Amino acid sequence: MRKFEGLLTLLLATVLILSAASCGSDSETPETPPVEPTAKPTVIVEPTAELAPEPTFESSIPPTFEGLASVSSQDGVYYLSWETAIDDQTDQASIIYEVFVAENAGTGNYDFLNPVVSIAGSTSIDIPDLDTSSRHYFIIRAQDEEGNTDQNTIEQTRRDLMLTGAPNLRDLGGYINADGIQIEWGQIYRSGDLATLTDADSIIVNGLGLNMIMDIREQDDIDRDGYDVIYTGNEAIYDFLFFNSGDPALLAELPDHPLKKLAVDVRLVDYPNWYINILEENKEGIKATFEHYADPSQYPILVHCTQGKDRAGTVSALLLLLLDIPETTIVRDFSLTCELTVEDIEEKMAGLEGILPVLDIVPEGITAEDWRPMLECPQDAMENLLNHVKTTYGGVESFLESIGITPEQQQIIKDTLLRD
């Protein structure tokens, strides 16, 4: 019996095990074996050389160019020079300079579509075969490789008029002030006397269309050298202002003699302060001069003394100061007198060498060389004048106001002479 019960228990256990195995097989989904991932293909990028960026041009930006700097001429050939233009994209050798010419001042007189000549990479050019009977004005513009052209309106011409009898007659136009504004050409002139103009000279001077000539010589100068050849006695356009020579030695009482100026002991002249003395001794005359400058209806205007150096030089320096022209330019303009009159100076020196030894009114020991500083251009005297105006009066505007030229009159002068 016990043996039977043991067999029965074993049988039941076996059935239960088989039943459990069968149920598990019917109710569970056998696991899917994992799928091996497919490897992505490896892409190998070969390194390439770095490409240079494509050049880009700013099509609206022309070269930076200060314009024509100077003009001279000889025997009908004009010599033009300028500083190199600068451009970010075009090398200097490839910049093209276009030259334009007109017979009258003013940008409206130029054909900017048709340059008379073009030149690449240069800073100077000679222009031959122009009519020598008239003045010629020039504008130069710079162009880059893309055809962009700067639009400067800097206009230059030869400053003096190449007159035989008045070599120092010259135009004060063309100078550029601290704001980059240019003085109008053909409006303001300075000169020595016009007593020895040739017929050809007179034609040129009359062609300037002057509306006012200020002769600021002393009466003794006029008596010695004569009145101007042109416009003589025409009070409508002449004003005789009779500036004196300023320096005490030059103002000393002289003997009654046709050549009494040679009785001056020029060794006593205070040359470094000469133009300061002219300024301080001639305030009424300077006021009258600037009253003319302040009247637009009187232009073109010419101011002149005997040589066109000292009295006319003082007035011209004050005018250029008012127009804000750099002092270095003012001194250079002053020195131009001696460049233009070098032959005249040497002729006068030769004359003095001949006459001084035999003239009894000449101070003892005076030689022709003692007179040379009187005839030449003492640059330190001009520099001292400019400094005197600054340190004593606080500037040219204050000086002019102190002698009666109002700020309104000063502004009229600026508006009249400075280009728009």
Q: How does residue 59 score in pLDDT terms, banded at 50, 70 and 90?
A: low
What pLDDT score does 269 carry?
Answer: 87
Within 13 Å and on the Cβ side, how many CA atoms surround 69? 11
231 & 359 share domain:
yes
Element (H, E) at 213: strand 212-215
Neighbouring CB atoms inside 10 A of 59's CB total 10
201-214 tens-digit pLDDT:
999 998 899 999 99
Region 32-39: mean pLDDT is: 48
pLDDT of 13 above 70: no
> Which DSSP letter does residue 107 get?
G
The counts of H helices and E strands in the chain are 12, 11
**Residue 293 resides in a domain:** yes
Residue 120 belongs to domain with CATH number: 2.60.40
pLDDT tens for 211-247 read: 999 999 999 889 888 999 876 656 668 888 988 887 7
- Is residue 44 pLDDT above 50, yes or no? no
> Count of CB atoms within 10 A of residue 66's CB?
16
**CA nearest neighbour of 174 among 332, 52, 288:** 332
Contacting residues for 175 by C-beta, under 8 A, at least 6 apart = 182, 183, 320, 323, 325, 329, 333
Identify whether 192 is part of a domain: yes
Same domain, 101 and 180: no
Place of tokens 């046709």: 258
Q: What is the pLDDT of residue 233?
A: 59
Does one domain contain both 230 and 83? no
Closest CA to 101 of 75, 122, 126: 126
pLDDT at residue 29 greater than cutoff 50: no
Condensed to tens digits (0 to 9), the pLDDT of residues 124-176 reads: 999 998 887 789 999 999 999 999 999 999 999 999 999 999 999 999 999 99
- Quick check: is 59 in a domain? no
Helix axes 379-393, 274-281, angle to 10 degrees: 50
| Co-location of 139 and 183 in the same domain | no
**Is there a single domain that holds both residue 235 and residue 374?**
yes
Taking only the tens place, the pLDDT of each residue in 354-399 is 988 988 888 999 999 999 988 999 999 999 999 999 999 999 999 9
Residue 157 lies in a domain: no
Q: What is the pLDDT of residue 4?
A: 40
CATH number of the domain encompassing residue 339? 3.90.190.10
In a domain, 404, yes or no: yes
SS3 content of the chain, % helix, strand, coil (to 5): 40, 15, 45
pLDDT at residue 41, as a whole number: 45
Whether 203 and 281 map to the same domain: the answer is yes
Residues 233 and 110 in one domain: no
Query: Do residue 73 and residue 192 come from a single domain?
Result: no
Burial (0-12, 13-18, 19+ Cβ within 10 Å), 166: buried
How open is the CA angle 54-56-57, to the nearest 5 degrees?
150
Q: Whole-angstrom distance between the N-terminal and C-terminal Cα of the chain?
A: 141
Residues making up the chain, counted from first to last: 420
Kind of pairing between the strands at 124-127 and 301-304 = unpaired
**Over the stretch 177-197, which tens digit does the pLDDT of each residue have?**
999 999 999 999 999 999 999
Rounded alpha-carbon distances, angstroms, from residue 228 to 70, 162, 193: 31, 17, 7
Residue type, position 135, single letter: R
251-297 residue pLDDT tens = 777 777 777 778 888 899 899 999 999 999 999 999 999 999 999 99
14 or 61, greater pLDDT = 61
Q: Is the pLDDT assigned to residue 10 strictly greater than 90?
A: no
Task: Give how many domains the chain has, as a whole number.
Answer: 2
Average pLDDT, rounded, for the chain: 86
Q: What is the pLDDT of residue 236?
A: 61
Question: What single-letter DSSP state applies at residue 86?
Answer: B
Residues 252, 108, single domain; the answer is no
* End-of-domain residue from the set 99, 128, 143: 143
Q: What pLDDT does residue 111 have?
A: 96
| pLDDT value for 12 | 44
Residue ending a domain, among 100, 125, 143, is 143
Here the contacts of 124-129 (C-beta below 8 Å, separation 24 or greater) are: 124/79, 124/80, 124/81, 124/82, 125/79, 125/80, 125/97, 125/99, 126/77, 126/78, 126/79, 126/80, 127/77, 127/78, 127/79, 127/80, 127/99, 127/101, 128/76, 128/77, 128/78, 129/76
- How do 170-171 and 188-191 pair as beta strands? antiparallel
Across-strand partners of 190? 170, 303
For 124-137, what is each residue's pLDDT tens digit? Answer: 999 998 887 789 99
* 87 touches 166 (CB < 8 A): no
Instruction: Band the pLDDT of 56: cuts 50, 70, 90.
Output: low
Q: Give the pLDDT mean for 305-313.
A: 94
Nearest CA to 251 out of 288, 289, 282, 293 is that of 282
Give the C-alpha separation, 249 to 265, whole Å: 7
Of 100, 128, 143, the position where a domain reaches its end is 143
Say if 165 falls within a structural domain. no
413 with 287, same domain: the answer is yes
Per-residue pLDDT reduced to its tens digit, 70-115: 999 988 899 999 999 999 989 999 999 999 999 999 999 999 999 9
- Give domain status of residue 164, yes or no: no
State the sign of the Cα–Cα–Cα–Cα dihedral 240, 377, 367, 276.
positive
Distance CA 406, CA 291 (A): 10
Verify that 221 and 340 share a domain, yes or no. Answer: yes
Pair 196, 107 in one domain: no
| 4 inside domain | no
pTM metric for this prediction: 0.81
Residue 83, domain extent: 68-143
